[in-house]
Amino acid sequence: MLLKHTTGLEIDRKALTINPAKTCQPVGAMYAALGIHGCLPHSHGSQGCCSYHRSALSRHFREPVMASTSSFSEGSSVFGGSANLLQSIETIFTVYKPEVIAVHTTCLSETIGDDLNQIISKSKEDGKVPDGKYVIYCNTPSYVGTHVTGYSNQVAALVKFFSTATPKKRNVINLVSGWMEPSDQREIKRLVSVLEARTLMFPDMTDVLDTPLTGTYKMYPDGGTTVNDLKLTGDSKFTLGLGQYCTEDTCIKLENKCKVKFEILDIPIGFKATDRFLMALSRHANVPIPDALTDERGRLLDLISDSSKYLYGKRVALFGDPDTLIPLTEFLVSMDMRPVYIVTGTPGKSFDERMTVILKDIPEAKFMSGEMADMFRLHQWIKQEGVDLLIGNTYGKYIARDENIPLIRYGFPIADRPGHNYFAKTGYAGAANLAVQIISAILDQKDRTCLEEKVEFQQ
Amino acid sequence: MKNEIKETLNMDNFKEEILDLYPKKVGKKRGKSIVLSNPDDIPEIQANVRTVPGIITQRGCTYAGCKGVVLGPTRDIINITHGPIGCGYYSWLTRRNQTRPVSAEDPNFMTYCFSTDMHDSNIVFGGEDKLKQAIREAYELFHPKAIAIFSTCPVGLIGDDVHRVSRQMKEELPGVNIFGFSCEGYRGVSQSAGHHIANNGLFQNLIGRNDEIKGKYKFRVNVLGEYNIGGDAFAIDSLFDKCGIEIVSTMSGNSTIEKFENAHTADLSLVMCHRSINYVAEMLETSFGIPWTKANFIGAEATAKSLRKVGEYFGDQELIDRIEKVIEEEMIPVKEAVEKARTKTVGKTAMLFVGGSRAHHYQELFNELGIQILSAGYEFGHRDDYEGRRVIPTIQMDADSRNIQEITVSQDATRYHPRKTEEELEELKEKGMEFNNYEGMMADMQKGLLVIDDLSHYEMEKLIELYKPDIFCAGVKEKYVVQKMGIPLKQLHNYDSGGPYAAFEGAINFYKDIEMIACSTIFKQLKAPWEREDVVEAQYVFN
């Protein structure tokens, strides 16, 4: 047994997190910053933070993930990291030549109290920031919130530093992307093009973290939202935020700064969330939803209905991030599955509120968010009463093997299977991809474990 | 063959070519970390100094070296990371240290991540109470024999004293060995500081606590600096078992508390990764009289050589004969495998930038495959790892090294006994054995190759662009960068899920994996047909 010390007996834990369903802020900031064209994320702290985050993102995407670090020493921890950041800015613009340096802080620089605004201003005064280049920053103390908070803070910083309202409004809808895969964003952009709507997505990791193999390495890949587009977000006529936890703060800041109104939607995972996304986009972009998409939806429902007997009543345990878990749980319920255990390490009231509504017909369902909502607890619940399916990141494989339940890999990090940045899980096509994975996992498990005479040619 | 390839490349100008781009001061500093090897007159290289802020480095932090590398592979200690959640999270199962509990009851916590998950209130008001409570909860849930506490950056800044908490909790929970590490990420210039801190902690809290002589063989060694990535320690274990040699303790691959406590009952320490564990080797020598010798089980020839050293050290003819017999038997499939692989690998070129020992050790395997090394360097090595331990007295202690605790050990009052007399040691030295010494990487490299410490991203790109190696060896952060350039990267931290690569068995695995890389065709198909050939416009005949 891989997790042999886990039993169903829960104690009242107050201090010890075991097998977390979250990580800390800066990796989220780093990921979001990669969605800006020509941007080098910069970690203002010890080398280890940057190294860990780059490794985690590299393992997950199997793509180059470039970022630099202020390489704090004991001296900088005592005297402050100002000299390190000034040196970093000079070195980076000289050697690595990005358009934008996106600095994020760490628990170290936050505890010291480095004033990034002042340090960056000084680097400009000293002439270390070349004309037309930018140094932006966000505060991402690791001891507040989670990686989701870090993502949100980095995206909000894009508004703070770039969004500009001019008198010339544009007939464009901003799409603020929550934490999803480049494949998911690519699918959303495809839906937009089918609708013939005009949108501007930020951040945008397509063609950054899913680049083709050509034999040529581009330190700054072709993708990513350009600085020019980021500036234009202030002139768009409306904003759709995809995923409340990752985008609400950005939407509010953009409204406050540039008077662009907004609506928060779920990431379009599953047909209901996709329906809502398309209707909102259709309404705000003032374009009809073409029949082609109605057909896509119909094909998805056809697929689900053909296999519904294998889905009905199946008990599912999930862990991950709220913005994903909310629509995903809704999708499972809409396929008559029973999501019974759900944990996220990311705190926030709306997760609990949304889950209460989504799970209202599943009285046995337990969900928990924030501190102590970890995978150890999820596993304890599973020990108390089993499930048919587990959905979560690669760390779930240890539970899956011990309990002999299939695992659908979803979330971050996925370090042991390829394809998540290739095949989307958003939109109707993505939902079909997900449904097929779920059905296949359940049937594979049945085919492997059922009595010989129950092995069916057709199911 | 080797020299032919080398002659076509002139690496003398590399330094000048790349340093220009750096800001002047940075270029001056980097210049000292780039030298051309010369085994006859080993040059001085700058190493173990701070990375210039803003440089994209391979390096990690002190915590990673302490918790991640050295203490991480011990299965029955509960390792609690005291800090915000990230540090514990990223050192959770990411290093492929394999472990094999001997029974269903044998504890194994390596699949778990334990953290105090500090929040802002803990930063403001102190986190010691939360840490104590976390230790209580870990005890209540798991009843471990030992709990280790690892400090992350903010812990040092806010003044939480993990050592005091450990002492207090040890009193509260008698029978549980609880100890802390001040391994805040900012303490050193790389992981290396963390290794040192971990070594001190191992010696102060675990080693030497149980005098019972265990095991079935009378020839007793420790294997130090072997972390069982991909099962390397298992391969070494089974090889030693065939030879009739007892491995008392491996540090720290597949390790347990009991093995550490017993390590001082060995009669020889074999040091694999010199950088990460030489402090323990030295302390075992000083305190208990156990000599250490540098060993290397990466590469078939190196493995044979290291085994023979053990035989020679114990001086037992039966053991020596048995070792020779094992080598003879093991070399049969090795030769077969290497001959097969060499048809595909001879004449290829490689670069290695990894760790604190592997960039040296893996040159053995590449040499066996007839692959020319073009360039190599460590991520967190010191000068002695490049130039040999003879330079240690001349290494200037800088501020970053000074703040790492040095512990002084003295001869153990009752248990110190030199395993060999001075005369015996002299005799062994005359036969060519070396004790308490490491000659460093550059002694084994041919003249004129580029040796670069703490390679930056920019330098890596330039190296590849200028010298186009067939294989590049580094870690996951570099992997996909290099592969986008169409050059396969072999990870030598995690072996790309391969291994074991140690001992004879491992050498065969490595030959096969490199042969596979050499034969892999995917990188040759990157151009679409319409990019490769002149597009011929279709012509139609119309009436």
CA distance B81 to B67: 8
On whether the CB atoms of residues B265 and B220 are closer than 8 A, the answer is yes
Co-location of A383 and A235 in the same domain: no
Which of A66, A143, A214 faces B56 most closely, judged by CB atoms? A66
Bridge partners for B147 per DSSP? B78, B178
Give domain status of residue A408, yes or no: yes
CA distance B7 to A453: 69
Is A48 close to B94, i.e. CB distance below 8 A? no
- Could you tell me which of A257, A260, A293, A109 has the C-alpha nearest to residue B157? A109
Output the pLDDT for position B1.
Answer: 42
Give domain status of residue A208, yes or no: yes
SS3 B268: strand
Is B190 close to A371, i.e. CB distance below 8 A? no
CATH number, domain of A404, equals 3.40.50.1980
- For residue A74, give the amino acid letter: E
How far does A332 lie from chain B, in Å, by closest CA?
A: 28
Length of chain B: 543
Co-location of A432 and A308 in the same domain: yes
- Could you tell me which of B489, B452, B453, B454 has the C-alpha nearest to residue B470? B489
Chain B partners of A85 at a C-beta cutoff of 8 Å?
53
Co-location of A193 and A333 in the same domain: no
CA B119, B123, B125: angle at the middle one, nearest 5? 110
Chain A partners of B186 at a C-beta cutoff of 8 Å?
46, 72-74, 76-77, 108
Residues 6+ apart with CB under 8 A from B222: B247, B248, B249, B250, B251, B263, B266, B268, B269, B270, B284, B290
On whether the CB atoms of residues B490 and B517 are closer than 8 A, the answer is yes
CA distance A341 to B492: 39
SS3 A254: helix
Co-location of A447 and A357 in the same domain: yes
Output the pLDDT for position A255.
Answer: 98
Strands A100-105 and A407-409: unpaired
How many Cβ atoms from other residues are within 10 Å of residue A72's Cβ? Answer: 32
CA distance B65 to B303: 26
Tell me which residues of B are annotated as active site: 61, 64, 95, 195
Output the pLDDT for position B532.
Answer: 77
Residue B107 touches partner A, C-beta closer than 8 Å: yes
> Residue B351 — φ and ψ, nearest 5°?
-130, 145
For A87, A120, B25, B262, the CA distances from A124, given in Å and listed in that order, are 12, 6, 20, 59
Residues 6+ apart with CB under 8 A from A120: A85, A89, A103, A135, A137
Residues 6+ apart with CB under 8 A from A457: none
Co-location of A202 and A283 in the same domain: yes
Residue A5 touches partner B, C-beta closer than 8 Å: yes
Co-location of A262 and A301 in the same domain: no
Co-location of A199 and A308 in the same domain: no
Output the pLDDT for position B2.
Answer: 47
pLDDT mean over A383-403: 98
Q: Which of residues 412-451 of A touch B (CB under 8 A)?
A: 415
H/E stretch holding A69: strand A68-69
Give domain status of residue A367, yes or no: yes
Beta strands in A127-253 (DSSP E): 134-138, 170-177, 199-202, 236-242
CA distance A206 to A211: 8
- Could you tell me which of B302, B350, B383 has the C-alpha nearest to residue B490? B350
Bridge partners for B245 per DSSP? B219
Give domain status of residue A458, yes or no: no
ipTM exceeding cut-off 0.95 for this assembly: yes
CA distance A159 to A151: 13
Last residue of a domain, one of A290, A315, A344: A290
Helix locations, B187-244, DSSP H: 191-205, 232-243
CA distance B438 to B436: 7
CA distance B431 to B413: 32
SS3 B430: helix
Q: Please provide the average confidence, as pLDDT, over all residues in chain A.
A: 98
Consecutive 10-residue averages of pLDDT for chain B (543 residues): 58 89 95 96 97 97 97 98 98 96 97 98 97 98 98 97 98 98 96 97 97 97 98 98 98 97 98 97 98 98 98 98 98 98 97 96 98 97 98 92 88 97 96 96 96 98 96 98 97 96 98 96 91 79 77
Domains and CATH numbers, chain B: 62-187 (3.40.50.1980)
pLDDT mean over A280-284: 98
Give domain status of residue A20, yes or no: no
pLDDT mean over A264-278: 98
Residues above pLDDT 70, as percent of chain A? 100
Tokens 């391994």 belong to residue: B183
Domain that holds residue A417: 295-453
Own/partner long-range contacts of B127-132 (Cβ < 8 Å, ≥24 apart): B127/B82, B127/B155, B127/B158, B127/B160, B128/B160, B128/B161, B128/B164, B128/B165, B130/A15, B131/A15, B131/B80, B131/B82, B131/B160, B131/B162, B131/B165, B132/A15, B132/B165, B132/B168, B132/B169
Buried b or exposed e, range A41-50, using 16+ CB within 10 angstroms:
bbbbbbbbbb
- Report the domain count for chain A: 3
Co-location of A302 and A286 in the same domain: no
SS3 A159: helix
CA distance A194 to A212: 24
- Could you tell me which of B406, B296, B381 has the C-alpha nearest to residue B65? B381
Give domain status of residue A62, yes or no: yes
Chain A partners of B131 at a C-beta cutoff of 8 Å?
15
Q: What DSSP letter does each residue of A47-61 carry, written as one string?
A: HHHHHHHHHHHHHHH
Tokens 């893996």 belong to residue: B362
Co-location of A179 and A218 in the same domain: yes
Give domain status of residue A17, yes or no: no
Is A217 close to B108, i.e. CB distance below 8 A? no
Co-location of A204 and A121 in the same domain: no
Residue B403 touches partner A, C-beta closer than 8 Å: yes
Last residue of a domain, one of A266, A290, A314: A290
Co-location of A154 and A183 in the same domain: no
Tens digits of residue pLDDT in A19-37: 999 999 999 999 999 999 9
Q: Which of residues 50-89 of A touch B (CB under 8 A)?
A: 51-56, 58-59, 61-77, 84-85, 87-89
Give domain status of residue A138, yes or no: yes
Tens digits of residue pLDDT in A350-384: 999 999 999 999 999 999 999 999 999 999 999 99
Output the pLDDT for position B359.
Answer: 97
Output the pLDDT for position B6.
Answer: 58
Output the pLDDT for position B184.
Answer: 97
Last residue of a domain, one of A130, A161, A192: A161
Is A74 close to B190, i.e. CB distance below 8 A? no
For A324, A389, B472, the CA distances from A360, given in Å and listed in that order, are 19, 20, 55
Chain A partners of B113 at a C-beta cutoff of 8 Å?
17-20
Co-location of A280 and A227 in the same domain: yes
